[in-house]
């Protein structure tokens, strides 16, 4: 089986850090400070799509400035990676030891993902990774198709694990099984609307899927 994971809000408990950095970037640029749940709702999208969703009325130049300012704030805050959710490290090890393939499909940038993987000494941990700035943003299924192609895996032998409706919609668009986690960015109600094959309340439950 190939397990494909979202990163922020699924493996790593980084939702609060993302929200804080989005708020700080908006404040620096004198943009409206939105409620935290609005910032949380766009987690999972690529950064250009996220900023355009949050601030649809600002021009392209200011959207670019917002992206750059957020990236600067996040990089400064991310000198120490956020913690993994309980059970993540142990469960990934069990899956690897059992012979399963592991991959990441994330809204993070390639630079951002590589930075955190490097700090963890995990650059070679996953069999494949895809980031939103090198392919299409979720919920477009392109990054899943690319991972399947790279690993020569059929869609029937893969499952997407994520915490947002964008993750589940991407899997649905690819015809792939999908597992939701209840402890990330989006509410259980939003996730259940996408009819996941399972809902995890603790990451270690994945070992029994």
Per-residue pLDDT, 36 = 96
pLDDT tens digits, 64-112: 999 999 999 999 998 888 999 999 999 999 999 999 999 999 999 999 9
Q: Indicate if the pLDDT at residue 208 is higher than 90.
A: no
CA 193 to CA 170: how far, in whole Å?
A: 14
- Report percent pLDDT > 70 for the chain: 100
More confident residue, 208 or 115: 115
Q: Cβ distance 66 to 51 under 8 Å?
A: yes
Please report the domains of the chain, with CATH numbers, ordered by start residue: 2-13+83-208 (3.40.50.1000), 15-77 (1.10.150)
Residue tagged active-site, from 8, 127, 163, 167 = 8
Q: Compute the distance between CA of residue 122 and CA of residue 88 in angstroms, rounded to an integer.
A: 14
Instruction: Kindly report the length of the chain.
Output: 209
Average pLDDT score over the chain: 96
pLDDT surpassing 90 at residue 33: yes
- Say if pTM beats, i.e. exceeds, 0.85: yes
Tell me: pLDDT of 166 over 90: yes
Asked if 8 is an active-site residue, the reply is: yes
Cβ proximity of 102 and 125 under 8 Å? yes
pLDDT score recorded for residue 77: 92
Question: What is the pLDDT, as a whole number, of residue 209?
Answer: 80
Active site residue 6: yes
């Amino acid at each position: 089986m190939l397990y494909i994971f979202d990163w922020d809000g699924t493996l790593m408990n980084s939702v609060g850090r993302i929200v804080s950095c989005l708020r700080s970037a908006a404040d620096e640029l004198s943009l409206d400070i939105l409620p935290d749940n609005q910032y949380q709702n766009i987690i999972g999208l690529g950064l250009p799509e996220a900023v355009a969703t949050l601030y649809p009325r600002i021009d392209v130049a200011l959207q670019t400035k917002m992206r750059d300012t957020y990236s600067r704030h996040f990089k400064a805050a991310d000198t120490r990676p956020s913690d993994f959710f309980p059970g993540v490290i142990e469960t990934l090890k069990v899956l690897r030891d059992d012979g399963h393939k592991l991959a990441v499909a994330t809204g993070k940038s390639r630079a951002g993902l590589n930075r955190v993987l490097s700090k963890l000494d995990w650059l070679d941990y996953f069999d494949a990774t895809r980031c939103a700035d090198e392919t299409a943003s979720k919920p477009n299924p392109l990054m899943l198709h690319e991972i399947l192609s790279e690993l020569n895996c059929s869609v029937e032998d893969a499952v997407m694990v994520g915490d947002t409706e964008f993750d589940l919609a991407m899997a649905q668009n690819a015809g792939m099984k999908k597992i939701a986690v209840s402890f990330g960015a989006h509410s259980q109600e939003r996730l259940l609307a996408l009819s996941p094959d399972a809902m995890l309340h603790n990451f270690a439950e994945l070992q029994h899927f």
